[in-house]
């Protein structure tokens, strides 16, 4: 395996590329794991890297090349902007490093598939966000589905009302360039494919609902990528997912949240596909929903480093990691097929496959 000797029985050396907003949360998690050594961070903005490095007493690498020259780094966590994911992941894999990347793995399925092939050829691990399926509420929901809590499953509703990015983010344009489908539609898609396996066909519609936007500093901008997408995703066995994504309706302004799994004998309702402590309910057909407690005490919010921790443990233990690049690439194929469907006005078939991840210990 073409890796550096940076993983021991006790610790794994990890470095972060991309020091934007989410990097602070990843770094805090990674620095708190006794079996992981956060060695340093790197960003195209040296001042931003220096600030994050100082907060954790680690090195700020001047460039990605210098990060990859550090023999103590076994895993690179890629938190760069959407458009940079493919190139950064490729360079890290070619340098012999395992990689965990924020979503999406790439903006084109061909690129995502290429990265999976490259990692396999070099004997490296490739992991991809989102990994909120590792949350306590989500793992409990997945276990209930495996135990046939809804009877024969037929319909899944996924709601992504993510609001107006410009009302809170200082640089919202990049989010609108990729749109809500690629930015946040990946979350419910990853959970649903974890539950059901690969999707087979997509039929979609999209529109620009609110084209004229204004930044926090008052500067206007115009969006052209659809800020509203509805997709019908078909799975083996006839299960249908209706996925709705938008950058318009705020989460607090709607009752449409999370994921709903509906079967012949009942329903399972997961209020948030994002938070590990999401409310979870089940309802027998014709009855009111009742709350279900997670099988283990739930982490409040999202533990961003959990998938990286699992990847590091999998390398040390010689077992498969759970948030795999192959599943992330399949999700990218769904995203690209959805875009092709709404642009061309026709259903689009899917071809890629992956092995759904194993449950966490205690949820089998």
For helices 186-196 and 325-344, the axis angle rounded to 10 degrees is 120
SS3 content of the chain, % helix, strand, coil (to 5): 35, 25, 40
**pLDDT number for residue 10:** 79
Burial of residue 44 (CB within 10 Å: 0-12, 13-18, 19+) is: middle
Output the pLDDT for position 49: 98
Residue-wise pLDDT tens for the chain (364 aa)? 334 445 556 799 999 999 998 999 999 999 999 999 999 999 999 999 999 999 999 999 999 999 999 999 999 999 999 999 999 999 999 999 999 999 999 999 999 999 999 999 999 999 999 999 999 999 999 999 999 999 999 999 999 999 999 999 988 999 999 999 999 999 999 999 999 999 999 999 999 999 999 999 999 999 999 999 999 999 999 999 999 999 999 998 999 999 999 999 999 999 999 999 999 999 999 999 999 999 999 999 999 999 999 999 999 999 999 999 999 999 999 999 999 999 999 999 999 999 999 999 999 9
Taking the alpha carbons at both ends of the chain, their separation in whole angstroms is 31
How many Å apart are CA 128 and CA 13, to the nearest integer? 18
Output the CA angle 346-351-357, nearest 5 degrees. 125
297 Ramachandran zone, left/alpha/beta (phi>0; psi -120 to 50): beta
Cα–Cα dist 136/272, whole Å: 12
The Cα-based distances of 314 to 159, 243, 245 in angstroms read: 32, 32, 33
Q: Which two tokens stand for residue 41?
A: 């961070």
Q: How much is the pTM?
A: 0.95
Give the Å distances, CA to CA, from 76 to 41, 84, 192, 222, 345. 9, 14, 27, 35, 39
Specify the pLDDT at position 127. 98
- 76 closest CA partner among 1, 3, 24: 3
For each of the domains in the chain, give its residue range(s) and CATH number, in order of start. Answer: 12-128 (3.40.50.720), 133-299+330-349 (3.30.360.10)
């Amino acid at each position: 395996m073409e890796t550096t000797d940076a993983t021991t029985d006790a610790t794994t050396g990890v470095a972060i590329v991309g020091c934007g907003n989410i990097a602070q949360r990843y770094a805090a998690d990674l620095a708190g794991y006794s079996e992981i050594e956060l060695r340093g961070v790197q960003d195209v903005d040296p001042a931003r890297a220096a600030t994050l490095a100082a907060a954790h007493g680690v090195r700020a690498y001047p460039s990605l090349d210098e990060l990859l020259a550090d023999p103590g780094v076994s895993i690179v966590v890629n938190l760069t902007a959407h458009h940079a994911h493919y190139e950064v992941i490729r360079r890290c894999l070619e340098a012999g490093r395992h990689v965990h990347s924020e979503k999406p793995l790439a903006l084109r399925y061909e690129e995502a598939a290429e990265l999976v092939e490259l990692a396999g050829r070099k004997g490296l691990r490739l992991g991809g966000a989102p990994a909120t399926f590792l949350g306590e509420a989500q793992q409990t929901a997945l276990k209930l589905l495996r135990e046939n809590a809804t009877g024969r499953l037929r319909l899944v509703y996924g709601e992504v009302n993510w609001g107006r990015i410009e009302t809170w983010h200082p640089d919202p344009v990049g989010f609108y360039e990729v749109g809500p489908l690629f930015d946040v539609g990946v979350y419910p898609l990853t959970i649903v494919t974890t539950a059901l396996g690969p999707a087979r066909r997509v039929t979609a519609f999209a529109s620009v609902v609110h084209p004229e936007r204004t930044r926090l500093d008052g500067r206007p901008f115009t969006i052209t990528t659809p800020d509203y997408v509805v997709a019908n995703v078909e799975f083996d066995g006839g299960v249908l997912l209706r996925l709705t994504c938008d950058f318009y309706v705020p989460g607090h302004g709607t009752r449409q949240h999370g994921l709903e799994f509906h079967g012949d004998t009942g329903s399972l309702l997961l209020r948030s596909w994002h938070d590990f402590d999401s409310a979870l309910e089940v309802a027998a057909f014709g009855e009111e929903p009742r709350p279900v407690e997670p099988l283990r005490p739930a982490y409040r919010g999202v533990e961003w480093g959990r998938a990286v921790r699992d990847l590091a443990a999998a390398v040390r233990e010689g077992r498969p990691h759970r948030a795999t690049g192959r599943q992330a690439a399949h999700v990218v194929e769904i995203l690209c097929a959805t875009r092709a469907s709404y642009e061309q006005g026709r259903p689009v078939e899917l071809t890629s496959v992956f092995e759904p991840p194993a449950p966490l210990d205690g949820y089998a």
